[in-house]
Amino acid sequence: MKIGVPKETAAGEHRVALVPETVRSLSKTEGVELVVEAGAGGEAGHPDSQYSEAGAAVGSAADVAAADVIVRVDLPNSGEIAGMRSGQTLISHLSPWTSAETNAALAQAGVTAFAMEAIPRTTRAQAMDALSSQATAAGYAATLIAARESGRFWGMLTTAAGTIRPAKVMVLGAGVAGLQAVATAKRIGAIVTGFDIRRAAWEQIASLGGRPLELDFIPDAEGEGGYARPLTDEENEQVRDALAENAARQDVIITTAAIPGRPAPILITEAAVANMEPGSVIVDLAAETGGNCELTEAGQTVERDGVKIIGPRNLASELPGHASQLYAKNVENLLGLMITDEGKFELDFEDDIIDAACVAHEGEIRGERTAR
Ligand SMILES: NC(=O)c1ccc[n+]([C@@H]2O[C@H](COP(=O)([O-])OP(=O)(O)OC[C@H]3O[C@@H](n4cnc5c(N)ncnc54)[C@H](O)[C@@H]3O)[C@@H](O)[C@H]2O)c1
């Protein structure tokens, strides 16, 4: 059984699906061979020589495309899917709930496709949860970008030339990425406020040294599977008003609020930005799904009244070394459910993780949500 690792082709993608450490452990299983495309790990700090030393063959894109199982980070483009053969297995981010064409093309090609986004958020699946590992990298990267762009110290300093007051940072949305932003901003020395519409997140913000903004006129919005439910228009209005008041006191706002499968909620309006001090910075992690700030443009930095609104895309890729390391471990753990001790590839659809993560098999699109 051969596992192939291509060099990623999406613009701005610096990660790689397997790092040498995971290649080394996977190649220990009898019957498992690995082939890595030349240069695949270069941007994540892993030259080809490290893959060879770890037990993989280094080959061409065609060598990788011929493997039984292909593991990648970003969804393949239509040309890459057209080059796949029936019966091949693909493990990758696939945007299964927003990229219907990809689902259809994979099913039509007869590929068995596993979407890393569809791994269930259960305790047993935690070691395979790429949404969490990559959100951790994104939250960290967003905070460092905000720190750099703010042009100021974040911690308090007492110097002969005067005292610097600590930066005030507000984090909106306290899921995996938001909590990492709270923790990182706190470590750099800022005074951190965090907000989420799930009450359970308030305690988590406080446990990281942040001050939870307790807007308790909104009932707890925890919905299915621990995710937030969408707010009503009236609730959204109330939240935006309260945040506008708080936004005016912040030097930096990092936004991460998301509702799975929906456009990002608008939390910071144009009017709220107008009330912020010139020199303030907003980093909007939700840029790719429409943004939490009304002025965000994905992939751009917008300047309005001296406030910078940064809408980065694919932030996890900004930390290619560690984001790849964590992603590779997620993939290795998933492969562990598919490869027997004798090196045979076997899919057990009775396993809830295999069942949930598989979005195409034997010509059919799988899963109610994916089909929808
Ligand atoms: N294995 C596990 O058990 C596991 C793993 C990861 C996450 N989780 C849980 O899944 C949930 C979602 O985590 P995520 O990081 O994937 O979330 P996410 O990326 O979908 O959303 C980010 C955050 O935005 C918040 N949000 C949505 N609308 C908002 C609004 N209008 N205002 C403010 N905040 C808003 C959400 O509550 C969430 O905390 C959390 O409860 C988390 O603890 C569980």
Confidence class of residue 223 from pLDDT cuts 50, 70 and 90? Answer: confident
Position 27 confidence tier, pLDDT thresholds 50, 70, 90: very high
Q: Helices 200-207 and 176-188: crossing angle, nearest 10°?
A: 30
Going by pLDDT thresholds of 50, 70 and 90, the confidence category of residue 49 is very high
Question: pLDDT, tens digit, for every residue of 107-145?
Answer: 999 999 999 999 999 999 999 999 999 999 999 999 999
Residues known to be catalytic: 121, 126, 129, 132, 227
Per-residue model confidence (pLDDT) at position 316: 98
Decide if pLDDT at 225 tops 90. Answer: no
Cα separation, 17 vs 29, in Å, equals: 19
Work out the average pLDDT over 219-238: 91
**pLDDT confidence of residue 262:** 86
Q: What is the pLDDT of residue 341?
A: 84
Question: Which CATH number, 3.40.50.720, 2.60.40.2140, 3.40.50.300, 1.10.10.10, labels domain 2-118+320-360?
Answer: 3.40.50.720
Structure pTM? 0.96
Identical fold for domains 2-118+320-360 and 135-318, yes or no, is yes
Domain boundaries of the chain, sorted by first residue: 2-118+320-360, 135-318
Q: Which CATH number fits domain 135-318: 3.40.50.300, 3.40.50.720, 3.30.470.20, 3.30.930.10?
A: 3.40.50.720
CB 126 within 8 A of CB 132: yes
Identify the band that residue 78 occupies on the pLDDT scale cut at 50, 70 and 90.
very high
Q: Is the pLDDT of residue 256 over 90?
A: yes
Mutate to test the pocket of ligand 1, among 119, 199, 222, 227 (most ligand atoms within 8 A of CB): 227
Work out the average pLDDT over 226-234: 91
pLDDT at 224 over 90: no
Tell me the backbone φ, ψ of residue 39, rounded to 5 degrees: 85, 0
Residues 6+ apart with CB under 8 A from 270: 294, 295, 304
Q: Is the CB of 176 under 6 A from ligand 1?
A: yes
Share the mean pLDDT of the chain: 96
- What is the position in ligand 1's atom list of the atom closest to the CA of 257? 24
Quick one: average pLDDT of 64-78? 97
Who contacts 241 (Cβ-Cβ below 8 Å, separation ≥6)? Answer: none
pLDDT at 343: 86
Residue 226: pLDDT band with limits 50, 70, 90: confident
131 lines ligand 1 (CB under 6 A): yes
pLDDT at site 235: 95
Of the chain, the percentage scoring pLDDT greater than 90 comes to 95
Check pocket membership of 196 for ligand 1, CB cut-off 6 A. Answer: yes
The DSSP bridge partners found for residue 170 are: 193, 253
